[in-house]
Amino acid sequence: MIKFENVSKCYNDENKAVDSLNLTINDGEFFVLIGPSGCGKTTTLKMINRLIDLSEGTIYLDDKKISEYNIHELRWNIGYVLQQIALFPHMTIEENVAIVPELKKWDKKKVKDRITNLLENVGLEPEKYLNRKPSELSGGEQQRVGVVRALAADPNIILMDEPFSALDPISRKRLQQDMVKLKKKINKTIVFVTHDMQEALALGDRICIMQEGKIVQCDTPDEIIKNPKNDFVRNFFKSGNVYKTSLFESDYRVKDFVEEGLYDNMEYNEDINCINTEESLENLFSLLTKEKIIKIEQNGKVIGTLNMGHLVKFVANKLEKDGEV
Ligand code: ADP
Ligand code: MG
C-alpha cells in the first residue's frame, strides 16, 4: 500500500507543483494519474521512489515512511518505466534487463529464467532478442524491454511515466493490450501516468485526475464517467463533454455492443431490467446508472447482459478511434 498524507512539493517559493495530496493506492491496484501537462503527475510519481524529495507531508509504503527505507532497498523494489527508456547502448538486452536482479544477487539461472519468461510475456522471442543491442530494436520493442527491465527483479510496485506516449498509435495499442494481460498475471501495484483518457479508461482500476497540483477526482472509471465531478473532468472527455454530447447524439445503439462482443453472452434469468438491441446509448446509460446489470433482448430473446464496464470499454474504444482526447 502506498499512502500520501498531505504531501506537497515546492520547487520554488511561488507555487506548489503538488499541493496537499491525500491518496491511498492499494496493493495490486492499477492506479492511473492523469491530467494536463504541468499538473504535477511526474513529481507525484518521483516522490514515491525518492527521485524527488517532498517539501511537506509523508508518504508511507506498507505503513513505513519512505524516508526510513534504505534508498537502494526502496529503488530495487520499485520498478520504473519512463517515456523514453534509457537502455545502455553498449549492453545487450539481456545485460540491460539483468542489472537489478544481479544487484540483488540472484543466481544466474534464476535471472535467465526470469528474463526469458518476461520477454515472452511482452511478445519478444527471447532467442531473437536476448543478444541484440538496443539500437537494433524499434521504439516499441525498446519500450517493451523497458517494461521487462522494470519487472525483472520482481518489485512489488511499478511506476510508469507516460511509457507509451512516444510510440506510434499501433505499437501503443499493442503495448496497452499487453499491459492489460500482464496486469492480470503479475498482480503488482502499478502507478501509471498518462495524459490520455482512452489509455486511462483502458487500463485503470482507479483514475486520479489532477489539475494544478491537486486532485480533482479519484474514482473508478465508471464512477468518473457516471459522475464527473466538474467541468474540468467532463472536458477531459473531449470538447465539452464527449460523453453527453457527441456519443449520445451519435447513432450508436445497443446492437453495436453486441456486434463488438462487448457484453456477457450468458443466460440470465433473474428479474432485472431489459433493453432492446435497437435502443440508444443514452437509454442504456440511464438504465445503467440505476442498475448494475441489464439484460439485452434481441427479437424477443434474452441474449446476454451488459454492465457499466462494457459501457466504459465502448467509450474508450470510440475515443480511441476518434483520436486523442
Ligand atoms: P507533469 O508530469 O504533470 O507534466 P510535473 O510534475 O513535471 O508535471 O511538473 C509540475 C510543475 O512543477 C510544473 O509547473 C513544472 O514546471 C514544475 N517543475 C517540475 N520539475 C521542476 C524542477 N526540477 N524545477 C522547477 N520546477 C519544476
Ligand atoms: Mg510528466
Dihedral pair phi/psi, residue 295, rounded to 5°: -80, 145
Residue whose CA lies nearest to ligand 1 atom number 5: 40
* pLDDT of res. 178: 83
Residue whose CA lies nearest to ligand 1 atom number 25: 11
* pLDDT of res. 227: 83
Alpha carbon of 80 to ligand 2 centroid (Å): 13
pTM of the model: 0.77
**CATH 3.90.1280.20 residue spans of the chain:** 246-322
Region 246-322: CATH code:
3.90.1280.20
* pLDDT of res. 204: 93
* pLDDT of res. 92: 95
Residue whose CA lies nearest to ligand 1 atom number 24: 11
Whole-number Cα distances in Å, 108 to 24, 205, 294 = 37, 36, 53
Region 2-239: CATH code:
3.40.50.300
* pLDDT of res. 240: 31
* pLDDT of res. 271: 83
Mean pLDDT by 10 residues, the chain (325 residues): 97 91 96 92 96 96 95 90 84 93 92 94 93 92 91 92 84 84 86 88 92 94 83 61 52 90 84 90 81 90 90 75 44
Alpha carbon of 166 to ligand 1 centroid (Å): 19
**CATH 3.40.50.300 residue spans of the chain:** 2-239
Q: Which ligand is nearest to the CA of 82?
A: 2
Name the residue with cell 453527453: 244
From 43, 44, 34, select the one nearest 200 (Cα to Cα): 34
Alpha carbon of 11 to ligand 1 centroid (Å): 8
Q: Measured over all CA atoms, what is the biggest interatomic distance in the chain, rounded to whole angstroms?
A: 67
* pLDDT of res. 22: 98
